[in-house]
Amino acid sequence: MSDDKLVEVYLNPLQFLELDEPWASVKSEEVSPESVLKFLCSPGIGSNIEDIISRYKEISIEKIRLFAAPNEQRILDKLVWQLRQAKAGYMCGNYIGTIALCGMVSEMVAVLLFEISDFKLNNQAMLEKDQRAVFGNTFEKLGQERRIQILLSYGIINNEIKSFFDKISIIRRRYLHYWSEDHDRLSSDAIICYEAAVSIVVSAIGQKVQGGKIILNPSIIRYLNKYGQVKDMD
């Protein structure tokens, strides 16, 4: 009797078969939008327009909305576009990608908050050597948990904002570090992460509306002025 065993496999899980030789059946210019969407969406996740729109609505439920952002390249690259990609990832069923990007955004916000805040030692702005002496390393190179502790201790964030950072860290750690974590709550955890990430970005930037004008945080205004992004009214 044979000792051979059968194992079910997923063939060519990384290939876009319509384009990959020698299986390519169509020219690149003939590839349909539907086949592109099918490849972009996670296997087993509906890839038709109705499904994608449904997932967009699922994740677009944050109570605090980012309705305006400074047109400053680093803020856009590190925060805003990453949140947009996190939402796009959810639309395609890439819930892990959404969580990972929200984790990145939370780390970038923590560093931004330190940069725009008035951290001093002996009434002088803290230099990198001062940060190493006081914190054990430069703020940017600290672990995220330590960064949040510092921001809270110095009154840069409050307990509510800390809770948003904590939600992201806890969920991110479970899915990105533990093999044993099942994915039965993955989509709902991705939504929690996204909402928390938007909340901390809005908190850092500030976007109150007053007299028909958007009022940003004074610390962000100073940051933007430093990089020549603030202009006088005509």
pLDDT digits (tens, 9 = 90+) for 128-143: 999 999 999 999 999 9
User: How confident is the prediction for the chain on average, in pLDDT?
Assistant: 91
**Domain of 87, in residue numbers:** 73-226
pTM of the model: 0.90
pLDDT of residue 99: 98
- Does some domain include residue 64? no
pLDDT at 167 over 80: yes
For residue 66, how many other CB atoms are within 10 A of its CB?
17
Q: Which residue has the tokens 């989509």?
A: 187
Q: DSSP 3-state assignment of 214?
A: strand
Domain presence at residue 47: no
Is 19 inside any structural domain? Answer: no
Asked whether residue 98 carries a pLDDT value surpassing 90, the answer given is: yes
Residue with the bigger pLDDT between 4 and 155: it is 155
Q: Give the pair of three-digit tokens for residue 131.
A: 């940060």
Domains contained in the chain, number: 1
Residue 63 covered by a domain: no
**pLDDT tens digits along 27-75:** 777 788 898 999 999 998 999 999 999 999 999 999 989 998 999 999 9
The whole-angstrom separation of Cα 106 and Cα 192 is 13
Provide the β-strand partners of residue 213: 210
pLDDT at 57: 97
Q: What is the DSSP string of 138-189?
A: -GGGS-HHHHHHHHHHTTSS-HHHHHHHHHHHHHHHHHHH-TT--STTHHHH
pLDDT at residue 155, rounded to an integer:
94
What CATH number does residue 79 fall under?
1.20.120
Structure tokens at 198: 């938007």
Residue 104 lies in a domain: yes
Cα 153 from Cα 83, distance rounded (Å): 27
Choose among 106, 115, 118, 116: nearest CA to 78: 106
**Closest to 191 (Cα-Cα) out of 208, 167, 173:** 167
Residue 30 is assigned to a structural domain of this protein: no
Tokens matching residue 195: 């909402």
Nearest 5°: CA angle at 96, between 95 and 100?
120
Instruction: Look at residue 180 and tell me if it is in a domain.
Output: yes
Q: Please report the pLDDT score of residue 212 as a whole number.
A: 77
Of 7-21, 90-104, 126-140, the least confident: 7-21
Residue at 24 is within a domain: no
